[in-house]
């Protein structure tokens, strides 16, 4: 499995004119990596994630997975969103089994689908909740069902667009631990978009920092050497966070300069949001 | 934390410190058993609270409060369950937890059913009292205007009792009470069934419902796929969708002259035509709206999980649009019913609308009022027997209920 992003630009046309969201990105992602995209708001990191998923196409350049140009959405590249986006008419188990219906080898094998769904529910520690409707679950539980649903189709890469941003801090911490455990067990390739540097440092093997719009890659940090679990108490973790933040600081300032009235813009707090 | 489960309901304030304890000590203490045993609460946040069997409304209210409390508990214990399992030492007493929940759930279900039954009968009682009040008002007005001041003719403004008698006879029930009004051209009936068939209402209701079912079915069979097309293809939206919107605003009674010209003054064909035209466009518009209002995120979730083309429609968009579609079908039904009545009033082919017209011609105001009542009751009946249960089931499944106190 190898994803190649070659010279990708993305231009959106709006009422106010053209907006260059991505201004030429080259990137490759290898099997088993946990890549975090970090950048100031509007830098195109979510746009790139959408293009990886196939919901959007590059204006220039191309994105390939194992040499094949990405043309549309596929279960090879299952995506998780900020919202769980569970199907409210299905229970948790049926939600997890949903993607399995797309697999030809499981056609007309309801028992096997059921078993697979249960296995992944168990992986996210929701084995007892297979029969629950989404509205009966808490926000964190729903997002875990969504994670199980995306993992169940065994995608080549799991795309996560700020999946924990809507959760409270405590639930988020637990989900970080959970996601980390799952990643270490499965070594699934994961692309994870976030604006939270601490989250990125906690999870990633590689962090890609984007510039302010038009987004390009400003810096990359290789975190493979950093041991899991990465507790916030460890000094090396905090140092890494500081390094990534310093790379990000100018970019956040640029966005703020652009989006606030001048002068009198609030001076960015060191490190921006983290 | 275990104590929440066994705790009696009444001493409310006990649950507060318990939940606080749960939130402050989540993952740090590997309390594996407790969170796991409690976590199932979240499946139905009200599960644990025991409702006393003889609970009156104030009890139900208290219970509601406490269930909200336990909802908060469930969330925090859910969080701690993650923490505990991530530590990796989890040996989970699932069976114990499940056993507890199951018995709790059964109890809860029984209590919920009892509460629903109580709510239903209290609704019925309120409405019955309101109807009784209206009848009393009507009776008083009749007494003042007709009996006392004689400022209005009793033939034009009948008393409720007169209308009641008309209905009693019209449904053939007078067969039992001995005041059977002999129908001209018929022998006195030998059985109740014969009496029913000689009188107006059952036959007319049958005729109207028969036409309604046909007209509505045709409108749905044509309108549903058109609605799908309109939702899917912008060309269809610009043409069929636009046409449906404009024709929907045309009162269906306007089709009657054309229907009479095309299909003649008698027979069911013109009525059916008007009914179909009345319901068709409303159905198209609401089905299309139902699908268009599906959150785009659900469609994206479906597509990223490999659903595309027909399967995206059948397994994501249509189920997601179901609440909107049911509303659309309901609107279509009421359009069909109204159009049908209008058509029957004018086209001379039996049915409830025809009864209205006939009784007007004979100057029987009580007959007209009685038929109006029958039409209203049928409308209410279809709503209560067909649409309300469907909507309720959807709400329960989707969790849209519980907004009302």
Residue where a domain stops, chosen among A135, A154, A173: A154
Q: How far is CA A134 from CA A137, A143, A167, B48, B357, in A?
A: 5, 10, 16, 19, 53
Q: Are residues A66 and A111 in the same domain?
A: no
Across the interface, whether the CB atoms of A175 and B82 are under 8 A apart is answered: yes
Do the strands A206-210 and A34-38 form a parallel or antiparallel pair, or are they unpaired?
Answer: parallel
Q: Are residues A105 and A223 in the same domain?
A: no
Q: Does A178 touch chain B (CB under 8 A)?
A: yes
Mean pLDDT of chain A: 88
Q: Does A185 touch chain B (CB under 8 A)?
A: no
The pLDDT confidence band at residue B111, using thresholds 50, 70 and 90, is confident
Residue B202 has pLDDT above 90, yes or no: yes
Model pLDDT for residues A212-235, shown as the tens digit of each residue: 888 899 989 998 888 877 877 778
Q: Are residues A107 and A212 in the same domain?
A: no
CB B117 within 8 A of CB B62: no
Model pLDDT for residues B60-101, shown as the tens digit of each residue: 444 444 444 444 444 444 444 433 333 333 333 334 344 445
pLDDT at B309: 83
Distance CA(A69)–CA(B111), nearest Å, equals 58
Q: What residues of chain B lie within 8 A of the CB of A131, using their CB? A: 43
Q: Are residues A245 and A137 in the same domain?
A: no
Model pLDDT for residues B327-351, shown as the tens digit of each residue: 888 888 999 999 999 999 988 888 9
Q: Are residues A255 and A270 in the same domain?
A: yes
Q: Are residues A241 and A213 in the same domain?
A: yes
Model pLDDT for residues A26-42, shown as the tens digit of each residue: 999 999 999 999 998 88
**Lookup result for tokens 């044509």:** B222
Q: What's the domain count of chain A?
A: 2
Ranges of chain A whose pLDDT falls below 70: 262-274
Of residues B75, B78, B304, nearest to A73 (C-beta):
B304
Could you tell me which chain A residue has the CA closest to the CA of B93? A128
Could you tell me which chain A residue has the CA closest to the CA of B84? A174
Q: Are residues A164 and A273 in the same domain?
A: yes
More confident residue, B36 or B174: B174
Residue where a domain stops, chosen among A101, A134, A154: A154
Q: What residues of chain A lie within 8 A of the CB of B108, using their CB? A: none
- Residue A242 burial class via C-beta count within 10 angstroms: exposed 0-12, middle 13-18, buried 19 and up: middle
Q: Does A137 touch chain B (CB under 8 A)?
A: yes
Of residues A55, A129, A134, nearest to B300 (C-beta):
A55
Distance CA(B392)–CA(B237), nearest Å, equals 31
Share of chain A above pLDDT 70, in %: 95
Residue B353 has pLDDT above 90, yes or no: yes
Q: What is the DSSP string of A80-96?
A: E-SS----TTS-HHHHH
Q: Are residues A36 and A171 in the same domain?
A: yes
Residue B50 has pLDDT above 50, yes or no: no
- What CATH number corresponds to the domain at position A169? 3.40.50.300
Average of per-residue pLDDT across B321-328: 87
Q: How far apart are the first and last CA of chain A?
A: 32
Q: Are residues A70 and A185 in the same domain?
A: yes
| CATH T-level fold of B200-398 | MetI-like fold (1.10.3720)
Q: How far is CA A128 from CA A136, A139, B108, B142, B190, in A?
A: 13, 17, 18, 65, 65
Q: Are residues A64 and A8 in the same domain?
A: yes
Q: Are residues A126 and A177 in the same domain?
A: no
Across the interface, whether the CB atoms of A78 and B40 are under 8 A apart is answered: no
Q: Does A102 touch chain B (CB under 8 A)?
A: yes
Range(s) of the domain holding residue A181: 1-78+158-274
Residue where a domain stops, chosen among A131, A154, A177: A154
Q: Are residues A148 and A163 in the same domain?
A: no
Of residues B26, B305, B322, nearest to A153 (C-beta):
B305
More confident residue, B26 or B128: B128
Q: What residues of chain A lie within 8 A of the CB of B82, using their CB? A: 125, 140, 144, 171, 174-175, 177-178
């Amino acid at each position: 499995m190898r994803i190649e992003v070659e010279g990708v630009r993305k231009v959106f046309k709006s009422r106010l004119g053209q907006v260059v969201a991505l201004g030429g990105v080259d990137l490759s992602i290898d099997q088993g990596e946990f890549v975090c995209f970090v950048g100031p708001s509007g830098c195109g990191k979510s746009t790139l994630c959408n293009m990886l998923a196939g919901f959007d196409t590059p204006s220039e350049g191309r994105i390939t997975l194992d040499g094949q140009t990405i043309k549309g959405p596929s279960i090879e590249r299952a995506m998780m969103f900020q919202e769980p986006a569970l199907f409210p008419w299905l229970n948790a188990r049926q939600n997890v089994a949903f993607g399995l219906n797309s697999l030809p080898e499981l056609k007309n094998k309801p028992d096997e689908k059921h078993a697979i769904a249960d296995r992944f529910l168990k992986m996210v520690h929701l084995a007892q909740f297979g029969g629950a409707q989404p509205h009966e679950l808490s926000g964190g539980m729903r997002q875990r069902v969504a994670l199980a649903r995306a993992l169940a189709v065994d995608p080549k890469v799991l795309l996560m667009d700020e999946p924990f941003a809507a959760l409270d801090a405590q639930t988020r911490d637990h989900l970080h631990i959970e996601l980390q455990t799952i990643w270490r067990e499965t070594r699934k390739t994961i692309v994870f978009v976030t604006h939270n540097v601490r989250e990125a440092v906690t999870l990633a093997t590689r962090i890609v920092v984007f510039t302010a719009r038009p987004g390009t890659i400003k810096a990359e940090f290789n975190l493979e050497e950093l041991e899991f679990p990465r507790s916030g108490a460890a000094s090396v973790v905090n140092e890494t966070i500081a390094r990534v933040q310093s790379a990000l600081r100018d970019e956040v300032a640029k966005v703020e300069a652009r989006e606030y009235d001048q002068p009198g813009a609030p001076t960015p707090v060191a490190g921006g949001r983290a | 934390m275990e104590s929440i489960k066994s705790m009696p309901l009444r001493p409310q304030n006990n649950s507060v410190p318990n939940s606080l304890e749960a939130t402050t000590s989540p993952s740090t203490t590997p309390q594996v058993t407790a969170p796991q045993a409690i976590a199932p609460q979240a499946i139905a946040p009200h599960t644990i609270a025991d409702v006393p069997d003889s609970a009156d409304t104030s009890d139900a209210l208290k219970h509601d409060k406490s269930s909200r409390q336990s909802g908060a508990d469930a969330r925090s214990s859910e969080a701690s369950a993650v923490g505990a399992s991530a530590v990796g030492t989890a040996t989970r007493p699932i069976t114990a937890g499940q056993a507890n929940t199951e018995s709790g759930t059964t109890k809860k279900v029984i209590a919920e059913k009892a509460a629903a039954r109580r709510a239903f009968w209290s609704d019925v009682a309120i409405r019955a009292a309101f109807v009784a009040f209206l009848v009393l008002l009507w009776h008083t007005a009749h007494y003042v205007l007709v009996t006392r001041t004689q400022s209005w003719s009793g033939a034009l403004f009948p008393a409720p009792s007169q209308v009641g008698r008309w209905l009693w006879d019209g449904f053939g029930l007078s067969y039992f009470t001995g005041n059977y009004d002999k129908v001209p051209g018929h022998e006195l009936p030998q059985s109740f069934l014969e009496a029913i068939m000689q009188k107006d209402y059952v036959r007319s209701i049958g005729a109207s419902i028969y036409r309604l079912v046909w007209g509505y079915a045709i409108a749905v069979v044509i309108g549903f796929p058109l609605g799908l097309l309109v939702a899917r293809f912008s060309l269809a939206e610009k043409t069929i969708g636009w046409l449906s919107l404009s024709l929907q605003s045309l009162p269906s009674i306007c089709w009657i002259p054309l229907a009479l010209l095309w299909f003649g003054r008698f027979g069911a064909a013109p009525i059916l035509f008007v009914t179909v035209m009345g319901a068709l466009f409303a159905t198209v518009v609401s089905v299309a709206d139902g699908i268009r209002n599906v959150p785009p995120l659900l469609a994206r979730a479906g597509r990223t999980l490999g659903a595309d083309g027909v399967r995206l429609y059948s397994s994501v968009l249509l189920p997601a649009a179901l609440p909107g579609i049911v509303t659309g079908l309901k609107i279509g039904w009421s359009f069909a019913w109204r159009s049908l009545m209008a058509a029957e009033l004018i086209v001379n082919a039996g049915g409830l609308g025809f009864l209205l017209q006939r009784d007007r011609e004979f100057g029987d105001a009580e007959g007209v009022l009685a038929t109006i009542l029958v039409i209203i009751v049928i409308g209410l009946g279809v709503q209560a027997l067909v649409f309300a249960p469907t909507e309720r089931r959807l709400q329960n499944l989707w969790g849209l209920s519980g907004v009302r106190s």
